Amino acid sequence: MFQVYGIRHHGPGSARNILEALDEQAPDLILVEGPSDSGMPLEFIGTDALTPPVALLVYDPRDYKQATFYPFATFSPEWQAIEFAHKKNIPVAFIDLPLSIIKEWGKQAALRLSLAPEEKTAEYSGDPLGEIARLAGYSDSEAWWDLMFERKPGKAVFEHIGRLMEALRDDLPGSPMALNTAREAWMREAIRKHLKKFQNIAVICGAFHAPALQATSRIPSATDKKILKGLKAKKMASTWVPWSYDRLAYQSGYKAGVLSPAWYELLFASPEDAPARWMVRAARLLREQDFDASSAQVIDAIRLTKTLATLRNQEVPGIAELLESVISVLGSGATEKLEWLHRQIVIGEKMGSVSPKVPRIPLQEDIEKTLRKTRLNKDWNTAGTIEKKLDLRKENQQEASIFLYRLQLIDIFWGKRIDNSPYNTGSFSEAWVLERQPAFDLAIIEAGVWGNTLPEACLAKVKHGIRNQKKLEKLSALLYHSLIADLPLLVAELIVAIREVAAHSRDVRDMMKSVPELATILRYGQTRKTETGAVAAILDSIFPRFCIGLPSLVQQIDPEQAEIIRRYMLRIQRNLHILPDPNFAGYWLEALDRIAGLPAAHPKIKGISTRLRFERRHINATQMEEELYLALSRGQSPEDTAFWLEGFLTGNRLQILYQPALWEKLNQWIADISEEAFLIILPVLRRTFDNNSVAERKKILDAAKFGLPHYLLDSEEENLDPKRKVLITNTLQQLLGWNLG
Amino acid sequence: MTEENLIRLHAEQAFENELRQLEQSDSGHKPENWKLSPRSVVQYIIGGSLSEGVTIQPKYFGDRRLIELAVATLATDRALLLTGIPGTAKTWLSEHIAAAVSGNSKLVVQGTAGTTEDAIRYGWNYARLLAEGPSEAALVPSPVMRAMQTGSVVRVEELTRMPAEVQDALITILSEKTLSIPELDREVQAVKGFNLIATANSRDQGVNELSSALRRRFNTVVMPLPATLEEEVHIVQSRVAQLGESLQLPENTDTAGEAITTLVTMFRELREGKTADGKLKLKSPTSTLSPAEAISVITNGQALAAYFGDGEIKARDIAAGLQGAIIKDPQQDTLIWKEYLETIVKGRQGWEDYYTAAVALLK
């Protein structure tokens, strides 16, 4: 004999009723709709090893993309039924179609969808409950179901559900979904198998499937065997992972989700006084926010809730009535306060936990150990985003930073650096934002194949990833990453790889992109107490070759490429003083010299070359002006001139104002240009001055209107106090790291 | 005086038949002194058909849950405060609820800056007072007092326009449900069924904010503007039809048509500060542009069309009312209206006549 109980997943009423029904039936076996290949012992349910909400993660150990989470809360009927089984020492098992088959099904369905439309079978894929709800005048099926079945106590409700579903299924348009047919056949077969050994079985499944399972004895086993012919399950693995109410809520995109997990929890725990308890919590939260919420108002709000429920023909008020009463009585009609209440007591901020008693792969354990050691444990178990500031001078905060970087190397981006945080000034502090995602649990298991500890996994995974990597840029970025993640073994590996690639590389563009990365490593190497000699050696090998190749890189290129190169050239010059070999500056300037003289080099690059050489005092003001005259001369097309100016001036702030000769020349050039040509170059010119601040642009405008201010024209150095001048130049020289001459 | 020649009937007069039918078929539980059960009150407001084939006209178009909340409030002993911008049917709703609950919507206190405490508590017949001294006979009860004595619903219109000290006279009435008359050394205790519906405008300047003590005694329901274009057009259309009947406009008067949709679209776009397709941002004028104003613009146009035109509402019949409704602040709003005309109305198909008529008026 067996009894089928159709439930709503995560329905608190279903959960209470199932307990009552099971108590009366006293079954000798409980079967639950859940993937029968989960392979996960269910014995942790109901012990202190799991604190709901938690999810059963079932995955294919050969293909981690084939994975599914099965979330449970205390108010999930399945959870209660399994807990009941454990308490009474009754065996319990999952009986649904194995997940491996369902996943395989999904792949083939995707293939089928690409066929011609008429070949698609007319399967009914709608929301059957939604349709009844609409007939009954409800906009969503949850509200309707909630009212019809969840708030009615007593096991008799299962019979009604069964009958209703039977009538519904008989009238559905189109053929039943093939996957559902297979699932139901599989479940019926499972029930038949168990009936050989057990006499009194309880079957718990989603309401929709209840009639199909009820019919087990009427349908011949051969029919089901035919449906299931050829379906083969593969071995799957599974584990328990913490879940949160936020992700249990329908709004998070979870299809079987509910509107209000926090309310359901209350409703399950104390159905009689749940509205009162909820209202008291709402009032307390409002008081915390300095809103009036007296006990008298709470009483009035509860009364209004009940009157509303009566008016709407409901025995017990639901979350909608509660919310309306809160707005009307406590909120003076204002909905703004609700946003916050919603998060707290409609959705709820609860996060479940899984204790170390649940077997897990070594990498999970290692990560949890590190979480505790670095005191990130609490953050890891918090839903939502958290901002975290780390002071790298403190040992355990530096460890936390290292840990976050290591996680990134195995593709777990729990922590992300905030680039523009004011806290980032200086190299010893970092601002992070942490956000836990459900996929991380799976990613950790996935990374488990690479090693049993986090450093091991990082090493093996990255090593594997760079086998065919021939880009210096990518390798240098990884090198920097592994340096700040304190993985010396990986650093060594990467250095070998980079050296190898660098030795054979002829890709000047790639070298250009890796130079600033490598220079940064040299600069920060000291903060992180890293051996940087090897990096210096790599730079030794590529920098001269890069300088030789650069002039050929900047010829015959389009403006977009020129812009990229211009930015890198600026970065390289800024890093020049960190580079190990003092001769490097010489190579660099030589390359710039050649670019300035190349007719085919992009004018923007020529412009920046002139500027960079002048900044380094490689050419003097007269030489610089000569190059400017050349660029502005009539023989050049106005467009080329504008590009040249962009390269020369962008981000160069007020230089044109402080070089009267330059100013005069530019002024003259603009005045002479024809209107037609002016319109062509206008966008480039605009871009050139866009980076300047409003105040700077105002100064330039004033100079254009009224001429240069006299103090700028009058650059007689004799007026300067020589003593003060020395003080200033000395300091500046120390700060800038080069000789001002 | 017969009912036929009155300009406007009270709700309980105009819908006498519906109320009687509802009362006859009402099987729900009635709170003491209520004429109808709360469920029937909601049905009276929302409309629908009774089993006997009687149709109840909808009085309010919009969210049923809102009406349920308002009626449920009255069924508990808390007072109801309807707030919202002008023209969101606050007064309309309060009148109909009072008519359905107590069968009498005439107990009203009109809140103005000049409202005194007498209007809320009681006044005196001074001739009698001087002749006989304080006595029952010399007492002139306020609508609130009469509602307390009869167990009815009293309405307080524009609560926030009253001076704060007058408003506060309501506090004891609402919390203790008694009104003391120290001159006669007696008090009036409210009979079951007594409750109060107040309306307050949330847009007007110079309102006297409710004290928190008084606010705590009210359940607040914020009346929304219609959610969709269709809903708003429907509201305007049905009210215009009803008004047309009572104004006895000539038979050939056009009651529906393009004009309403066009007008409501304009109002909504200006109010929400963006075009109906959400693609363009617009500036909003200071005027509220509620459905009530749309209704009056259309009725105005109707009258023009009926008496001076061929009965069909044309763009020029509406243009004048339109401009009056939109331009409240002559400087700012004129600019916004001009901009809207030039950027939106001019280019929209079928709106050419409106553009021409409106621009002609602006000159």
Residue A146: burial class (beta carbons within 10 Å; 0-12, 13-18, 19+): buried
Cβ distance B81 to A307 less than 8 Å, yes or no, reads: no
Of A307, A310, A332, the CB nearest to B220: A332
Q: Which amino acid does the sequence have at A56? A: L
**Residue in chain B nearest A324 by alpha carbon:** B69
Distance from CA of B72 to the nearest CA of A (A): 5
Distance from CA of B81 to the nearest CA of A (A): 9
Query: Among the three residues A188, A219, A252, which one is the final residue of a domain in this structure?
Result: A252
Query: Do B357 and B302 share a structural domain?
Result: yes
What is the extent of the structural domain holding A376? 362-450
Query: Do A212 and A326 share a structural domain?
Result: no
Query: B122-124 and B139-141: which strand pairing?
Result: antiparallel
Sign, CA dihedral A731-A733-A736-A740, equals positive
Please list every residue in chain B whose beta carbon sits closer than 8 Å to the beta carbon of residue A297.
216
SS3 per residue for A71-93: EECCCCHHHHHHHHHHHCCCCEE
**Residue in chain B nearest A335 by alpha carbon:** B222
Band (pLDDT 50/70/90 cuts) for residue A118 is: very low
Of A292, A294, A304, the CB nearest to B72: A304
Q: How far is CA B326 from CA B206, B284, B329, in A?
A: 21, 10, 9
| CA-based R_g, chain B, Å | 23
Query: Do B280 and B212 share a structural domain?
Result: no
Beta bridge partners, A237, equal A59
Q: What percent of chain A has pLDDT over 70?
A: 90
Task: Tell me how far apart the alpha carbons of residues A360 and A46 are, in angstroms, rounded to a whole number.
Answer: 19
Per DSSP, A329 falls in state I
The pLDDT assigned to A683 comes to 79
Query: Among the three residues A347, A371, A387, which one is the final residue of a domain in this structure?
Result: A347
Query: Do A77 and A212 share a structural domain?
Result: yes
Which residues lie closer than 8 Å to A225 by C-beta, 6 or more apart?
A189
Distance from CA of B175 to the nearest CA of A (A): 11
- Whether B124 maps to a domain, the answer reads no
- Whether B276 maps to a domain, the answer reads yes
- Whether B125 maps to a domain, the answer reads no
User: Which of helix, strand or coil describes residue A527?
Assistant: coil
Query: Do A198 and A288 share a structural domain?
Result: no
Task: Tell me how far apart the alpha carbons of residues A169 and A206 are, in angstroms, rounded to a whole number.
Answer: 14
Query: A353-354 and A50-51: which strand pairing?
Result: antiparallel
A211 near A164, Cβ under 8 Å? Answer: no
Q: Which amino acid does the sequence have at A530? A: T
Task: Tell me how far apart the alpha carbons of residues B72 and A325 are, in angstroms, rounded to a whole number.
Answer: 10
Of B69, B83, B212, the CB nearest to A308: B69
Task: Tell me how far apart the alpha carbons of residues B303 and B306 are, in angstroms, rounded to a whole number.
Answer: 5
Cβ distance B219 to A329 less than 8 Å, yes or no, reads: yes
Q: Reduced to 3 DSSP states, what percent helix, strand and coil does chain A have, rounded to the nearest 5?
A: 60, 10, 30
pLDDT in tens, chain B (363 residues): 466 678 888 989 889 889 998 998 888 889 999 999 999 999 999 988 877 778 888 888 888 889 999 999 999 888 999 998 887 888 999 999 999 999 999 999 999 889 999 999 999 999 999 998 899 899 999 999 999 999 999 999 999 899 988 999 999 899 899 999 999 999 999 999 999 999 998 776 557 888 888 888 899 999 988 888 888 888 888 888 777 776 666 655 555 567 888 888 899 998 888 888 777 788 888 888 888 888 888 888 888 887 887 777 788 888 888 888 888 888 888 888 888 888 888 888 888 888 888 888 887
- Whether A431 maps to a domain, the answer reads yes
- Whether B132 maps to a domain, the answer reads no
Query: Among the three residues B222, B255, B284, which one is the final residue of a domain in this structure?
Result: B222
Query: Do A118 and A238 share a structural domain?
Result: yes
Query: Do A678 and A549 share a structural domain?
Result: yes
Query: Do B87 and B218 share a structural domain?
Result: yes
Higher pLDDT, A63 or B98: B98
Query: Do B326 and B200 share a structural domain?
Result: no
The pLDDT assigned to A28 comes to 92
Query: Among the three residues B222, B240, B275, which one is the final residue of a domain in this structure?
Result: B222
What is the DSSP secondary-structure string of A158-203? Answer: HHHHHHHHHHHHHT-SSBPPHHHHHHHHHHHHHHHHHHTT-SSEEE
A contact set with B (CB within 8 A): 292, 294, 296-297, 300, 303-304, 307-308, 310-312, 320, 324-325, 327-329, 331-335
Query: Among the three residues A252, A284, A304, which one is the final residue of a domain in this structure?
Result: A252
- Whether B127 maps to a domain, the answer reads no
Lowest mean pLDDT among A141-145, A195-199, A486-490, B319-323: A141-145
The pLDDT assigned to B250 comes to 64
- Whether B122 maps to a domain, the answer reads no
Note the ipTM here: 0.80
Closest CA to A356 of A346, A368, A347: A368
Quick one: angle between helices A395-409 and A362-373, nearest 10? Answer: 150
In tens, the pLDDT along A434-455 reads 988 877 887 888 787 787 889 9
User: Which of helix, strand or coil describes residue A389?
Assistant: strand
pTM exceeds 0.90:
no
Task: Tell me how far apart the alpha carbons of residues A58 and A64 are, in angstroms, rounded to a whole number.
Answer: 10
A709 near A703, Cβ under 8 Å? Answer: yes
Which residues lie closer than 8 Å to A526 by C-beta, 6 or more apart?
A532
What is the extent of the structural domain holding B274? 229-362
Residue A426: burial class (beta carbons within 10 Å; 0-12, 13-18, 19+): exposed
Cβ distance B220 to A331 less than 8 Å, yes or no, reads: yes
Say if B216 is an interface residue toward chain A (CB within 8 Å).
Answer: yes
Query: Do A45 and A105 share a structural domain?
Result: yes
Q: Is the pLDDT confidence value at A121 over 50?
A: no
Q: Tokens at residue A253, please?
A: 């995109």
Task: Return the H-helix or E-strand segment holding A577.
Answer: none
**Residue in chain B nearest A307 by alpha carbon:** B72
Query: Do A221 and A244 share a structural domain?
Result: yes
Query: Do A343 and A366 share a structural domain?
Result: no
The pLDDT assigned to B122 comes to 93
Q: How many CB atoms lie within 10 A of CB A636?
A: 16
Q: How many CA atoms lie within 13 A of A210 on its CB side?
A: 24
Higher pLDDT, A109 or A164: A164
Q: Is the pLDDT confidence value at A43 over 70?
A: yes
Cβ distance B220 to A333 less than 8 Å, yes or no, reads: yes
Residue B279: burial class (beta carbons within 10 Å; 0-12, 13-18, 19+): exposed
The pLDDT assigned to B1 comes to 47
In tens, the pLDDT along A682-725 reads 877 777 777 667 777 788 788 878 777 766 665 555 567 778 88
The pLDDT assigned to A120 comes to 42
Task: Tell me how far apart the alpha carbons of residues A720 and A432 are, in angstroms, rounded to a whole number.
Answer: 48
Closest CA to A45 of A65, A30, A60: A30
In tens, the pLDDT along A75-110 reads 999 999 999 999 999 999 999 988 888 888 777 765
Cis, bond preceding A559 (omega within 30 deg of 0): no
Distance from CA of A326 to the nearest CA of B (A): 9
Query: Do B174 and B300 share a structural domain?
Result: no
Say if B221 is an interface residue toward chain A (CB within 8 Å).
Answer: yes
Query: Do A277 and A247 share a structural domain?
Result: no
Task: Tell me how far apart the alpha carbons of residues A462 and A186 are, in angstroms, rounded to a whole number.
Answer: 43
Query: Do B197 and B244 share a structural domain?
Result: no
How many domains, in total, are found in chain B?
2
Task: Tell me how far apart the alpha carbons of residues A579 and A588 are, in angstroms, rounded to a whole number.
Answer: 11
Query: Do A444 and A553 share a structural domain?
Result: no
Query: Do B320 and B301 share a structural domain?
Result: yes
Task: Tell me how far apart the alpha carbons of residues A496 and A485 are, in angstroms, rounded to a whole number.
Answer: 18
Query: Do A294 and A386 share a structural domain?
Result: no
- Whether B134 maps to a domain, the answer reads no
Q: Which of the listed ranges A130-134, A399-403, A616-620, A644-648 does the model predict with the highest average pLDDT?
A: A399-403
The pLDDT assigned to A738 comes to 66
Query: Do B305 and B168 share a structural domain?
Result: no
The pLDDT assigned to A112 comes to 52
Sign, CA dihedral A578-A579-A580-A586, equals negative
The pLDDT assigned to A251 comes to 66
In tens, the pLDDT along A615-651 reads 888 888 788 878 877 887 767 777 888 888 888 877 6
Instruction: Using alpha carbons only, give the angle A254, A260, A263 rounded to the nearest 5 degrees.
Output: 145
Query: Among the three residues B164, B190, B222, which one is the final residue of a domain in this structure?
Result: B222
Band (pLDDT 50/70/90 cuts) for residue A178 is: confident
Query: Do B235 and B214 share a structural domain?
Result: no
How many domains, in total, are found in chain A?
4
Query: Do B241 and B218 share a structural domain?
Result: no
Q: Tokens at residue A405, please?
A: 């970087």
B29 near B75, Cβ under 8 Å? Answer: no
Which residues lie closer than 8 Å to A377 by C-beta, 6 or more apart?
A368, A371
| CA-based R_g, chain A, Å | 36
Distance from CA of A693 to the nearest CA of B (A): 29
A34 near A209, Cβ under 8 Å? Answer: no
In tens, the pLDDT along A227-286 reads 888 888 888 888 888 888 888 887 666 667 788 899 999 988 888 888 999 999 999 988
Cβ distance B72 to A332 less than 8 Å, yes or no, reads: no
Residue B238: burial class (beta carbons within 10 Å; 0-12, 13-18, 19+): middle
First to last CA, chain A: 100
Of A294, A300, A311, the CB nearest to B68: A311
Say if B79 is an interface residue toward chain A (CB within 8 Å).
Answer: no
A444 near A437, Cβ under 8 Å? Answer: no
Q: How many CA atoms lie within 13 A of A13 on its CB side?
A: 21
The pLDDT assigned to A313 comes to 80
Q: Tokens at residue B312, please?
A: 């069909």
Cβ distance A324 to B65 less than 8 Å, yes or no, reads: yes
Taking residues A668-679, what's their average pLDDT?
A: 79
B47 near B56, Cβ under 8 Å? Answer: yes
Q: How many CA atoms lie within 13 A of B312 on its CB side?
A: 3
Longest dimension (CA), chain A: 111
In tens, the pLDDT along A310-357 reads 888 887 888 888 998 998 888 877 777 777 788 888 888 888 888 877
Query: Do B45 and B109 share a structural domain?
Result: yes
Sign, CA dihedral B81-B83-B86-B89, equals negative
- Whether A260 maps to a domain, the answer reads no
- Whether B121 maps to a domain, the answer reads no
Q: How far is CA A172 from CA A86, A169, A449, A564, in A?
A: 38, 5, 47, 61
- Whether A459 maps to a domain, the answer reads no
Please list every residue in chain A whose beta carbon sits closer than 8 Å to the beta carbon of residue B216.
292, 294, 296-297
Cβ distance A333 to B215 less than 8 Å, yes or no, reads: no
Cβ distance B39 to A311 less than 8 Å, yes or no, reads: yes
- Whether A367 maps to a domain, the answer reads yes
SS3 per residue for A423-484: HHCCCCEEEEEEECCCHHHHHHHHHHHHCCCHHHHHHHHHHHHCCCCCCHHHHHHHHHHHHH
Query: Do A371 and A338 share a structural domain?
Result: no
Query: Do B153 and B263 share a structural domain?
Result: no
